Structure 1
């Protein structure tokens, strides 16, 4: 497909909300009619499938790809990935601990790129390095809108040696813009606090499912302005 984008989402500190944002973006991109898959690149994250509420759904997880070699058929792989009811496909770690070599990650992304419009990758902060983030077209750094959260985001950006798109959660737009300017980053979005996200997560309802909320509206704007120019989410 043309213009496929690989978009990595990284949390700037503990509890930043990066996984929730990735889930919401995947749900909204899928609702917009884009072919999208979410890829878990954080073995310590608990499993991205949990964020989508599909941890009990059958399908391929990373441990099933261990030992494979050569190019991966992206279409065949995508068809075997778990998904919810009419939702995006998800490649996640299961409940079995394993590590994914960079070579396998690159082959997997290459195969999936061929059959998708957008790939959203959840990368763990502890594994983010200049080399690891360089493989992605876009890098979104999510920070809590507190002094500690913004300081952690600044430290993370310095460590990965790349200027990311900054998303601030739980701050006013003016304060978030001032913080972004101070950190030398472009402010991509300001996410309002939505207490229903935690309740929905407990019920297995993925973020982004409530089409009428301020949080989802900001996710839709981010998709339009940054990830999917010229396309509106549903």
Structure 2
């Protein structure tokens, strides 16, 4: 399948078309799986060298997931809204314990049973499960910066504000274990509601997305915020990757989820990753490495330029360093920092920053 076909299918999948996720690494099975999926004429997202981060980004929105003995382990303990099909070669018997552990609906031997799996795939819905719910398609966007002080948290929060003004159900997640708390940035530190230490999740099977959102503190414009807690004693709680992943899984049934991620985790979560790069030499160099990593993972991403008042690179120079032209710029607004410190970010996104937040929402397919 060509890169052009893959990009087109990702666009269709993002628009709510029921897509098939191919997470098969066996060199014999992989071309057979892609061929079968493509024969359905549905959008196909092929993870290629399937890793856990790609599975996390797409599996919960897929109408069907095709796995093999290598990739099935990534779904153990996870219940997906779509169907899981386990694929195996004719060279040996199907490893049924693996197929059952990933909650596969059926197992097929390829290429011998290609007609059978095509028949099973023909019963898939026209739209993804999330897209048929009242809240619309579930979309997750991760924000990260190429360096500290890039404005990642502020940009994520303002994008949440802009989406809320459009009437979307928005949840903003503080996924940085060393964060001071997004609730402080939004001025809701005194609003009651669950913070990370209050959740202590071990499984998401019985958790409803609406129940989770209602338990969180909310801003005046309706944004649910999951952030760190502050204590006067040494708190033993440590935010772990699996906890963030579980919360994103819960919210995958609908609405818009925005994550403030440390750059070490970029590409692990989110249908789209927003990389914020200050127009300075060292942040740009770090941004290039980050963008290259996202490309290697086939993670959809968009770059925003940040001008912090002492930018050393012009737009053209920055584009050359990054190997990618930024989609929008974040100008420096001195009054915004002062206001965030004293009363939290404004409900209305400042005019100078509105274009950048609109660019993010457009790339994410959020109308």
TM-score by length of 2: 0.55
Structure 1 segment 205-216 matched on structure 2, within 5 A: 205-206=344-345, 209-211=347-349, 213-216=351-354
Correspondence for 2:160 among 6, 17, 26:
26
Correspondence for 1:80 among 215, 225, 233:
215
CA distance in 2, matches of 1:61, 1:199: 25
CA shift for structure 1 position 198: 0.4
| Divergent runs of 4+, >4 A | 158-163
Correspondence for 2:230 among 92, 95, 98:
95
Q: CA deviation digits over 1:22-45, x for unaligned, max 9?
A: 000001100111111101110112
Match status 1:199 vs 2:338: yes
CA distance in 1, matches of 2:195, 2:349: 29
CA distance in 2, matches of 1:74, 1:19: 23
Structure 1 segment 138-149 matched on structure 2, within 5 A: 138-149=272-283
Q: What is aligned with 1:179?
A: 318
CA distance in 2, matches of 1:32, 1:226: 16
Change (3 A) 1:101 1:218: closer
CA distance in 1, matches of 2:349, 2:200: 37
Asked whether the 8 Å contact 1:75–1:115 carries over to 2, the reply is no
Unaligned residue ranges in structure 1 (runs of 5+): none
Q: CA deviation digits over 1:98-131, x for unaligned, max 9?
A: 3233332222111112131x11000112x426xx
CA distance in 2, matches of 1:196, 1:110: 37
CA shift for structure 1 position 152: 2.4
Structure 1 segment 102-141 matched on structure 2, within 5 A: 102-116=241-255, 118-125=256-263, 127-128=264-265, 133-141=267-275
Correspondence for 2:193 among 55, 59, 63:
59
CA distance in 2, matches of 1:146, 1:67: 40
Match status 1:166 vs 2:303: yes
Task: Pick the structure with greater CA Rg.
Answer: 2
CA RMSD of aligned residues (A): 2.4
CA shift for structure 1 position 183: 1.5
Q: What is aligned with 2:151?
A: 17
Change (3 A) 1:177 1:113: farther
Unaligned residue ranges in structure 2 (runs of 5+): 1-129, 132-136
Match status 1:45 vs 2:182: no
TM-score by length of 1: 0.84
Asked whether the 8 Å contact 1:13–1:149 carries over to 2, the reply is yes
Structure 1 range deviating more: 63-72 or 85-94: 63-72
> How many residue pairs end up in the alignment?
222
